[in-house]
Structure 1
């Protein structure tokens, strides 16, 4: 799940002139719960996929758009799947611990393959850690482009000093110092500050896909 769902919910509230309290009553939650879903502060909590689906139903928009930013508000998932399947490419995806072997030898144990839009055919997939209430129901694969130059606020696959395995970080460079956040959560303080030669950037995350576990 990408965390843009917050902005999408806020835009729906404004567009429909609905208050947090009205939304809370409609989906059977407390007003404070909606506030915690939408805050970016330390009291933030994460809605379940089921709660986001209820919100999507209330606003009569597509859940895949609200949850993940896939497609648009009103295009049904089967239409997106049909459009993608006519021109999709297939890429393999790997665990983070297998990435080093993949990049050094070109061969590693794949966890599977996924269909992706053709513009991402040169990427490779890496299982992306998801947290909160979604982690036990959804797998996320991040597509990583090795040839893409990163810019501020990009999520990258990289190795920090002393860590043999790569992980996902958000980077912001100020002057000569790169500020590093774990994953995509920049609501807290940066976990590291490094120089260019202290971080090995393996690729930039360009797109993601989510699959519900059986």
Structure 2
């Protein structure tokens, strides 16, 4: 079990508005026991795998991620095992606000990691803006493929005009005009009709929740 399992638990408690006391109640342990689980001093005790599984279930995440940092919070073990046998790797996932910094400097805060097939090992992920009631529950991510030309109906990660923060758009080029839709919804009128000089495509969504190509 990775030493930084404690950091993942602490971050989850903060994220979900929980405390050591509420976690203790939720997993039927004493508050002092949970305190020793999360302590980094000499009096620390290590939870068993079974206890880590109980903590993960209470906090709504996958135990393999909580214990070992494998995959992401919500990828189940069957998916991890299947991908492991086929030569999976993990890639970092960034927020849209930080991905430009990552592309420019190679360094940025990592939101999470996700397992992908080894052919996508050079890619990176970006948190995708899920719509509707699931947006506050799921960490939806799109895997971004760089150095490949986009084709009509691709979802891309791009910057338009002077906006420094990239976003997800669907593009369709007709003659010299690129018609732009936000995200994947092309049922409405395009939000922009621009030229190639007005858009900077950072990458193509090649795998993920809203995959356009694999």
Tell me if TM exceeds 0.5: yes
SS at 2:109 equivalent? coil
RMSD between aligned residues: 1.6
Superposed counterparts of 1:138-149, under 5 Å = 138-149=138-149
2:70 matched residue in structure 1: none
Please state how far the C-alpha of 1:102 moved relative to its aligned partner. Answer: 0.7
Structure 2: 5+ residue runs without aligned partners? 1-75
Q: TM-score, normalised by structure 2?
A: 0.59
Number of corresponding residues? 134
C-alpha distance after superposition, 1:66-99 (max 9, x if no partner): xxxxxxxxxxx86544221221111001000101
2:175 match:
175
Residues 152-163 of structure 1 aligned to structure 2 (within 5 Å): 152-163=152-163
**Aligned-residue offset at 1:148:** 1.6
- Counterpart CA distance in 1 for 2:82 and 2:112 is 22
**Cα distance in 2 for residues equivalent to 1:101 and 1:116:** 23
Q: 1:79 to 1:90 in 2, by over 3 A?
A: closer
Q: Which has the higher contact order (CA 8 A, sep 6+)?
A: 1
Distance 2:162 2:81 in 1: 45
Q: 2:103 maps to which residue?
A: 103
Q: 1:170 Cα deviation (Å)?
A: 0.2
Q: Which residue of 2 aligns with 1:49?
A: none
State yes or no: 1:124 paired with 2:124: yes
Q: What are the equivalent positions in structure 2 for 1:77-88 lying under 5 Å apart?
A: 80-86=79-85, 87-88=87-88
- What secondary structure sits across from 1:168 in the alignment? strand
C-alpha distance in structure 2 between counterparts of 1:105 and 1:202, whole Å = 14
Provide the C-alpha distance between the structure 2 equivalents of 1:127 and 1:109, rounded to a whole number of angstroms: 12
For 1:1-30, what per-residue CA distance to the aligned partner results, in whole angstroms no more than 9, with x for missing partners? xxxxxxxxxxxxxxxxxxxxxxxxxxxxxx
The residue that corresponds to 1:184 in the other structure is: 184
Distance 1:209 1:117 in 2: 14
Please identify runs of 4+ aligned residues in structure 1 that moved more than 6 A: none
